[in-house]
Amino acid sequence: MDASLYKDLVISRGLGHRYCISPPQSSKPILLFCRGFPSTSHDWRHIVPRSNDKDYGVLALDMLRYGGTDKPTDPAAYLPSLISKDIGDVLDAQKCEKVIAVGHDW
């Protein structure tokens, strides 16, 4: 993925998140790509250009503890409800209104 598409954002709980964003070229939604252990947004590099070619927007996250996103040492930072809010903060900051989530984990 093009390095110029990456952004860094400090979300409401003070943690830094890194992600790749490419807005849609039509009224189509953003495809939100999330990877779990042990991966980063880079793993979506083959599907992102194909999604853009179909006019979808793309937001590929480095999830908490991976890639360029912060890596808190307190296990309480990884509660699913907090991670969900983090994702919402990123989507709100990018003004993403229509989103289709795509995820993968071991």
Interval 18-74: pLDDT, tens: 999 988 888 899 999 998 888 898 888 888 888 888 889 999 999 999 999 999 999
pLDDT of residue 32: 95
Mean per-residue pLDDT, 13-19: 97
The DSSP line for 51-76 is HHHTT-EEEEE--TTSTTS---S-GG
User: Does pLDDT of 99 surpass 80?
Assistant: yes
pTM of the model: 0.90
pLDDT of residue 26: 85
Terminal Cα-to-Cα distance of the chain (whole angstroms): 23
Domains of the chain: residue spans and CATH = 3-104 (3.40.50.1820)
Count other Cβ atoms within 10 Å, centred on residue 58: 25
